Every structure is written in structure tokens, then in C-alpha cells.
């Protein structure tokens, strides 16, 4: 596949839709540009976990950690 993009006066480009789909990126995602002196590679910059952005938005009554969650569930069940 070959696609073109134009660089604006601010150094910005619009990544073509087909390229965004191939990379699996959407608005707000980050891209990493890697070069070896001969060519540049572009790849999506992924966090360690796909769920890391949701960390900490749970119920503040439930402590974190597997043991704490199991203890909380047992308490909810009356065990």
C-alpha cells in the first residue's frame, strides 16, 4: 500500500484512514517514529496493558488486589 500525506506549516500531517485502520489507532492515540538512518518506521505506541487507562476508576470502597476483592465479595455474600 502507498499513501501520501502533506506536511503543514506547523509540521503536522493527517494520517490516511487506511493507515490508521491498519495500525489500529484512533484520535488521541500515539505513534512512534523509529529510524535507522535509511528508513523510518511508524508504529502505534501501546501502553503495557490495554486496560491501564481504566485503572483506579472502580468503586473506592473496594481495596485493590485479588485477595481484597475476594474478601469484599465474601462479605457481600454474607460468607
Question: pLDDT tens, 60-79?
Answer: 777 777 888 888 888 889 87
CB atoms within 10 A of CB 47: 9
pLDDT-derived band at 50 (thresholds 50, 70, 90) equals low
- Give me Rg for the CA atoms of the chain: 21
pLDDT for res 71? 87
Tens digit of pLDDT for each residue in 16-46?
999 999 998 988 889 999 999 999 999 998 8
Residue with cell 487506511: 18
- Domain boundaries defined on the chain: 17-77
Nearby residues of 67 by Cβ (< 8 Å), 6 or more positions away: none
Amino acid at each position: 500500500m502507498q499513501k501520501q500525506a502533506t506536511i503543514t506549516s506547523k509540521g503536522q500531517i493527517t494520517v490516511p484512514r487506511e493507515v490508521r485502520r491498519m495500525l489500529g489507532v484512533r484520535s488521541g492515540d500515539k505513534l512512534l517514529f523509529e529510524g535507522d538512518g535509511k528508513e523510518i518506521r511508524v508504529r502505534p505506541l501501546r501502553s503495557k496493558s490495554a486496560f491501564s487507562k481504566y485503572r483506579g476508576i472502580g468503586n473506592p470502597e473496594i481495596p485493590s488486589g485479588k485477595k481484597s476483592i475476594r474478601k469484599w465479595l465474601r462479605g457481600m455474600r454474607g460468607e
